[in-house]
Structures are given as C-alpha cells and as structure tokens.
Amino acid sequence: MPGHDHSHDHSELSETELRVRALETLLTEKGYIDPPALDELIETYETKIGPRNGARVVARAWADPAYRGRLLADATAAIAEFGFTGRQGEHMVAVENSPHIHNMVVCTLCSCYPWTVLGLPPVWYKSPPYRSRAVRDPRGVLAEFGVELPKDTQIKVWDSTAEVRYLVIPMRPEGTEGWSEDKLADLVCRDSMIGTALALLPSNRKGAA
C-alpha cells in the first residue's frame, strides 16, 4: 500500500471543523439557519452534484477506450479534460475494477478525498472504524456495505494521501451496450467510485421502468 505522508492535523476533528460546528450551533440558536434545510443542501452536494462529475468521467471511460487509456495513464490530465480541476484533485490516480480485482479507497490517517470528482466526503469515510477496518478486513467491510465478492476476487486497498487521491472505475454492467454517456453515468454512484459499492444494474437506474 502506498506510503502515507500527511502534513496536516490527524485529530478526530480539525480546528477548522470545530469552529464550523461552533458557528453552525450559534447560527441555529439565533434562528439564522434551518438545520433540516442545511442537511438537505449538504446531502445534495454529497450525493448528487459532486459525484455526478466523477460519474461523467467513469461513463466516458466505459464508452471511449481511448479516454479510458488516458485516464489510467494520467488521471489528473484526463479528468481535467472535463474542466474538473482544483484543490483536492491535483494528483489523481484511477484504478480499474475487473472480474479478478476489486479496488477500494481509504485514508487511514485522516480523510483525504477527491472533492473535485466526488463532492463532499461521506461521514463514514472519515470515521475511525472505516479507516482502520478497511485495511484489516476489507472483505468484511464490503459485506457490511452489501457487496459480496467471489472468494477468488483480489481486493486492493488504496491509501489516499495529501499528495495522491484515487478514483475507482467500477465494472460496466452488462446490458448497457450502445448506451449514451449520460445514461451510463446514471449507473455510477459515489460509493462505487470509492469501491464500497458496485455500479447500479440497468434495472435499478433512476427512471428505469
């Protein structure tokens, strides 16, 4: 597993996070913000807007072999073709699932995460249990997420760092030949790009009959 050389605070909550929580509490008490509305906004960025960027990248890789090659060779540059650049996404590496290998991403010391393509990190990604167990018992963790892999499937765990972040390219579901990239992107969820889920089946696609 790649080395992990962070240059930032590894505490449970950083000083910035503590300040944000204190400010949120103060604003809530004064009636300036509505917690349910804030939760809905966060949920939107966490599961819809941000991850859609990554889904477009994966869909292009599924549909365009040349782009897939560029993505695997230099993910940062290939992702930048969509205009997705900036902090937390400067040094990206794409890893591809296959029938024999399943990739899974963790950040064992804190919560380095590719915001550029996945949006806000899920709470569980930052939790100590996930950060430790993903390395010690990845198959068990995947089972808890509902992912049961064949016993002969190798599981590779990639440790994100302040310098390198990973994007998992899930396997393309069968029965999607000839689909447009937009339609394919509907099958790519955030967790499948972390490796804790598989791509959706065509029958589970949003709007499927």
Query: Does residue 189 carry a catalytic annotation?
Result: no
Per the annotation, does 110 bind a ligand? yes
Query: 101 by DSSP, 3-state: which?
Result: strand
Q: How far apart are CA 100 and CA 150, in angstroms?
A: 9
> What would the two tokens of residue 191 be?
């967790």
Q: How far apart are CA 106 and CA 44, in angstroms?
A: 22
State the DSSP H helix or E strand holding residue 102, giving kind and residue range, or none if neither.
strand 101-106
Question: DSSP of 45-77, one letter per residue?
Answer: IIIIIHHHHHHHHHHHHHH-HHHHHHHHH-HHH
Per the annotation, does 107 bind a ligand? yes
Which burial class, exposed, middle or buried, applies to 105 when counting CB atoms under 10 A from its CB (0-12, 13-18, 19+)?
buried
Query: Does residue 127 carry a catalytic annotation?
Result: no
Cβ neighbours of residue 34 closer than 8 Å, sequence gap 6 or more: none
State the DSSP H helix or E strand holding residue 16, giving kind and residue range, or none if neither.
helix 15-29
Per the annotation, does 112 bind a ligand? yes
- Catalytic residue (choose from 7, 98, 110, 189): 110
- Catalytic residue (choose from 11, 98, 111, 160): 111
Q: Which amino acid is at 66?
A: A
Handedness of CA 129, 130, 136, 142 (dihedral sign): positive
- Catalytic residue (choose from 7, 11, 98, 112): 112
Catalytic residues: 107, 110-112
Binding-site annotation: residue ranges for Fe(3+): 107, 110-112
For the annotated binding site, the residues are 107, 110-112
